[in-house]
Structure formats: C-alpha cells, structure tokens
Amino acid sequence: MIRSSVPANGSSSQKKIRGIQNGWFTEAATMWPGQRFSLALKNYDEANSILYHKRSEFQEILIFQSAQYGKVFAIDGILQLTERDVFTFHEMMAHVPLCSHRNPERVLIVGGGDGAILREVCRHPEVTHITLVEIDPMVIEASKECLKIVPPETWYDPRLEIVHQDAAEYVEDPTNHNRFDVILADTLDPLGPAESLFEPEFYEAMHAALRPNGIVCTQGESTWIHLDLVRDLVSCCADIFDTSEYATTSIPSYPCGQIGFILARKGDGSNTRTRGCSVPVRTPAFQKDLKWYNSQMHRAAFVLPQYVKKELNAPDVNLSGRIRNVNDEEEDENGEEDDQCFLRGCTIQ
Amino acid sequence: MIRSSVPANGSSSQKKIRGIQNGWFTEAATMWPGQRFSLALKNYDEANSILYHKRSEFQEILIFQSAQYGKVFAIDGILQLTERDVFTFHEMMAHVPLCSHRNPERVLIVGGGDGAILREVCRHPEVTHITLVEIDPMVIEASKECLKIVPPETWYDPRLEIVHQDAAEYVEDPTNHNRFDVILADTLDPLGPAESLFEPEFYEAMHAALRPNGIVCTQGESTWIHLDLVRDLVSCCADIFDTSEYATTSIPSYPCGQIGFILARKGDGSNTRTRGCSVPVRTPAFQKDLKWYNSQMHRAAFVLPQYVKKELNAPDVNLSGRIRNVNDEEEDENGEEDDQCFLRGCTIQ
C-alpha cells in the first residue's frame, strides 16, 4: 500500500533518515496523532540494516532490515509493508475482489509498485491482462533490487504491462474506459497529492473504466482512526456503483492493527440486482500457497463490529452462502441480502 | 486483562514512572521484542496527566490521561486497557462464552480487578452469582477511585462477591468444585508469577470447578507473537475439556492489534457430543448497549487466517448456524461440525 506521498525536499543525506533514531524506526504520526509504532533495526545497526535509501522525484524511499519484521519498506517515514505481515493486506486486497468476480480477465493495479498486490493477482489463471500504473519508477526499482519480497519472475509475467503515469489521469483517459474487470487501487492516504484519489471524481472515473459487473477494491482506511472517512467513502460509492461494502483485515504494522477495503461493483445495465462481494463465487485453486486468505476469511471480513455497522448503516452479512463454482450460472440472479448498498449521499470531507 | 505481574521493587518515587518519558508512555517489550507501541500523554503534561501511580504488594499500578486513548491503565509498564478500545476485548471475553451457554447462572472472574469484564457480565440477567477473584485489592481501589471506566454501581451489584486470593489456589480448592457455569480467566501473560496459570494443572482445576456443560474462556495470547503457545493451549484444553477452540479479536492497544481467547467446554457426562462455542445460543437483550459484540461478530471470531488454521489444525467453522433461543431445547443435540476438538496432546512449553 502507498499510504503517503509528500514530495521530498531533494536532500540525499544518508546520515539523517526520516524515522530512524537509536536503532529504532518510528513511524511519523500526522494522520494518527497521539500514538507511535516503532520497529527495531536488526542488531541495532544502522550501517548494515539500511538496505536502500533514496529520494525519488516524488518521495523518500527506505528499506531496512528489522529485528523481528524482516525487511521493512517505508515511504516518507510511513510504513508500507513488512515481510512479516505483508500477506494479510495484499492477499485480501487481491483475492476478495478476484474471487467475487466470475471471470476476471483484465485487472488494473493502481500504485502497488512494490509488487505485493501483483504477486497475488498473478496467481489467478483467469487473469489474462494486468496493467500496473505506478507513478514512481524508483518504487519498482527498489522492490526489484532490494526488497525482493516477490519472486523475480513476477516482474516478467507476460500478462503484465507497467505504466508510469498519474493513476487518476490514466483512469480518466477515455481510451481506458470500459476496459477492466477488476481495479485494485492501492492508494495513498487522503493527504497532499493523494487527496484527489478520495474524491468522487476518481471513483466515477474508475466506474467508467470498468466493464459490466466489474469490481473496484480500494484501500479503505481504518475504522479506528477515520470512521467518518470510511462512512463517506462507502456512501460515495453507493451513489456511483451498484453495490458498496466495507471489508476489514488485521495487520500489525499498520496503525491500530486494522485496515479495510471499499469494495464496489458496477452493474451490467440490466434490472437484475447486482451481487455484492461478501460471498465468494470461486475458491482459489492455489489455496495451499496462501497464508491468510481462505473463503471463510473472505466472508468474515464483511462482518463489522457493532459501532462500525451502526455508523455505516450496514446490513447483516449473510454468512451462510455456500461457495459456488464459476459454472453455477443458474444461480446468477439469486442475490443475497448483503448485496444491498450501505448508504446514500456523498459527503467526502 | 492483567498481562504481567512482576513484583515491584518497593520504590515509590513519583519522578520516575516506568514507561513514561518526554510526554509519552512506551510499553515495555519483553514478550514482544523488536516492536514498541507508544501513547502520548494529554497535553504532554506529566504533572497533570498522571492520575494514579502506586506500588502495591504485587505490582506497579499506573493510570494516566492520554491524548487520544482516554484514560489508560498499565501494570508494571504493560498496557492493560484504554478507554478508547476497552470494549473489544472485554465484550468478546464476556459475551462469547455467556451467549454460548444456555443458562449461565454462576460466573467466576479470575483477575479483572479493573471491573471491565465485570461490567459486561452484569448485563446478563441470567447470571445470579458473580465471584471475582482478584489477588491485588489496589487494582480495585484504583479502578473505583480513578479509572472509573465502569459505572460505580457495578461494584455494588448484589450478585457480586469479591475475593482477594490467588486465583489458582481458589480454583483448586475442592469446596469450589462443580460450582460455576462460566469461568472468565483474565489471566497474566505466562511470565513470572503467572506461569502456573498456563499449566495444565490450572486448566484441570478450572474443569473441576465447572458444572456440567460449563465453559471456560481465558486470555489466549496473540497468534502474531505466540502461535506456539496458542497451539499448545488449544491442544492442552482439547485433552482436558470436551471442546477446545480459539477465537480472535482486534484491539489497537495490545501488541500487534490482535488478541485471542481459548474457549473450552466441559461435557455433561453423557455420550452426547458437546457443542463448541462458535455458534451463539442466545442473543443479548442488551445489544443496543454494546459497541463491539453482536451475534455475527461472535461467529466470525472463530474464523481463522489460513496459517493459523493450519497450525491449530482447526476445522472449518460453520458460519451458517442460525441463532437459537434458549428455549429451542429440541435442537440441543444437533451438534455442528465446528464442535470438534482442535488437537490432541498437551505440550505447554
């Protein structure tokens, strides 16, 4: 996930690295005031633990070897992923939407230059084309050269096309409309340059870029910290898409240990009620290779704590739907109760 | 939760408070090395933010006003609860076992002198007797005088009996055998004096203290940090009890943002298969007063990530069981697939 992207100041001093002091990396805390999470460098040794530290045109990129979390990737002092828990966010972000779509051929990844989402998408044999739009080539360079948490062959998957462009511009380009079955938007937090990615216009553009029955899955923030924003995003998507839902997962290295996803589906233009994403329609053939996702985790991710459910005016999730094969077409029009939109009204703040 | 209890060294200096420096409280990290969680004091003001700081016969008790987490309660430098997220752990620890029992009349709370579990237990009108065994009277004093996160009347509930005794001794006392329907063991981490509370003998004593069909729910540690211990506890309980399961919840102020519970049920001595605790048999009449628990959260708590499921050799949880009324006696003997024990063998390390 790319959670912040404040332009770097141009200094390239190795001596002062944002967030690192006395053998510890401490995350900057502008969006989650009053709390800090710190990770120890391996052997408390800055000289050998810093694996990559460069400033690109866009941001400060840091990779270090931690004592307990493996390699750690940070941008502008904000934790992006660690080897220890990378699989929770990235497996859920990829497999929940992909296993909710009957035939996801064309996938767009917004951001995600670290390759972690890409690795998960590549597992799906149904996917024939993958477009990765990453504005900063240095993120991919750092991942290939140093982070290496994804197998090198991932970058050479013949289905992959890499585009270095602003994702909002790419999605808004009419030549990319009606083109994708699934869009995975591994977006920044809504501060600074990423603010536009939390505006209705971006969601409208993603809606236009989807084919009928297409699904968008975006980084959905933490209900512990930004419940108002989550509510407004779910509401905004309910206005634009046929379905709009919030799913949650656990991840130790993100603030409060919790992050969510907004999942929204475009209809097919008919009067048939569109299914939400809380019940998978396929089971992954590669389940044995996964560490976090399974079909039960998929369904349980949509179950929300009482205070969140109330705030989002979310319906009860139907946990009883059995997993259906992609060939179970006869059941296509049997919508579940959980297919209803959450809210109406669009008031992003 | 009481997560550590190292005997204090007798010094009562207000000037040096374990964990507090430069306006921040940072949790000591012996059991979760390489990571630290810090909370800002309100207004960075130690003089006014420290609400309670005393050393009892057993431990160092600290209550401070934080910037973002409300009042915070720590013992020996370890976070026990915060006003902001207290409800996740305590609602789940109380309502999952109590809503899994048809008629929980007599409840034993081990530890829990802060009152947070007690508050949740008191909500159940079925409960007629509550015994709270807290070794340290000063924890209750601090809670009543200063923490005040539970309404004062909680302490004067006519059903409540408070005992200041070592919980292991209390439970082992034959006069307390066959006495309780539910035991909620808000135990320490298995370091130092609390080690015995993670030994099979303690679980055997709790089994003896339960009435037929009784349920024990203990603090079950985090799968992110102590997966071996979780596996061994589940396994140990599977040897002693008729059912043994692990349930999980999210809580920002505990390490890795995740904590679990071991839920184990005693049979009734017949050949009828004993039900596990993953499907509630009652819905709380007081649901509107809760912030975290609901019947769907109850079931979803037993759904485990793939790597945890594999490690615990856990079966698929049946998410489809409808919630039954306490009067649905005709369904009593229809066990679910998820009622099976997880593992055999007891190898606590």
- Mean pLDDT confidence for B167-171: 93
**Candidate from A88, A287, A319 with C-beta closest to B296:** A319
Q: Do A68 and B291 touch (CB under 8 A)?
A: no
Q: Which of A34-48, A201-215, B19-33, B329-343 has the lowest mean pLDDT?
A: B329-343
* pLDDT grade for A290, boundaries at 50, 70 and 90: very high
What is the residue extent of each domain of chain B? Answer: 20-82, 86-339
Q: Is there a shared CATH topology between the B20-82 domain and the B86-339 domain?
A: no
Taking contacts as CB-CB distances below 8 angstroms, the residues of chain B near A300 are 300, 303, 319
Q: Which of A18-27, A270-279, A296-305, A312-321 has the lowest mean pLDDT?
A: A312-321
Q: Do B293 and A306 touch (CB under 8 A)?
A: yes
Shortest distance between the Cα of B276 and any Cα of chain A, in A, equals 18
**Looking at residue A7, what is its pLDDT?**
38
- Mean pLDDT confidence for A94-102: 98
Q: Closest chain A residue to B222 measured between Cα atoms?
A: A252
- Mean pLDDT confidence for B236-259: 96
Q: In this structure, which CATH number among 3.40.50.12280, 3.40.30.10, 3.40.50.620, 3.40.50.150 belongs to the domain B86-339?
A: 3.40.50.150
Say how far apart CA A196 and CA A193 lie, in whole Å: 7
Q: Closest chain B residue to A307 measured between Cα atoms?
A: B291
**CATH number given to A20-82:** 2.30.140.10
pLDDT tens digits, A188-225: 666 555 566 678 899 999 999 999 999 999 999 999 99
Kindly name the residue from B76, B85, B114, B186 that is annotated as catalytic.
B186
Which of A30, A31, A35 should we substitute to test contact with B (largest number of B Cβ atoms within 10 Å)? A35
Q: Would you give the DSSP letter of residue A330? A: G
pLDDT tens digits, B152-168: 999 999 999 999 999 99
**Candidate from A37, A291, A306 with C-beta closest to B292:** A306
Q: Do A66 and B252 touch (CB under 8 A)?
A: no
Share of chain A above pLDDT 70, in %: 83
Residue among B210, B212, B231, B208 nearest B221 (CA): B231
The pLDDT of residue A49 is above 90: yes
* pLDDT grade for B328, boundaries at 50, 70 and 90: very low
**Candidate from A68, A255, A291 with C-beta closest to B35:** A68
DSSP H or E run through B87: helix B86-98
Taking contacts as CB-CB distances below 8 angstroms, the residues of chain B near A309 are 294
pLDDT tens digits, B60-116: 999 999 999 999 999 999 999 999 999 999 999 999 999 999 999 999 999 999 999
**Candidate from A26, A290, A300 with C-beta closest to B306:** A290
Contacts A–B by Cβ distance under 8 A: 129
Strand locations in chain B, DSSP E? 20-21, 24-26, 35-40, 50-55, 60-65, 71-75, 78-82, 106-111, 129-133, 160-163, 180-186, 210-219, 243-250, 258-265
Total Cβ atoms within 10 A of residue B76: 23
**Looking at residue A302, what is its pLDDT?**
97
Share of chain B above pLDDT 90, in %: 74
pLDDT tens digits, A131-159: 999 999 999 999 999 999 899 999 999 99
All residues at 6 or more sequence positions from A173 whose CB lies less than 8 Å from its CB, including other chains: none
- If phi > 0 it is left, if psi is from -120 to 50 it is alpha, else beta; for residue B148 that is left
Q: Do B67 and A34 touch (CB under 8 A)?
A: yes
**Looking at residue B47, what is its pLDDT?**
75
Tell me what ipTM this predicted complex has.
0.87
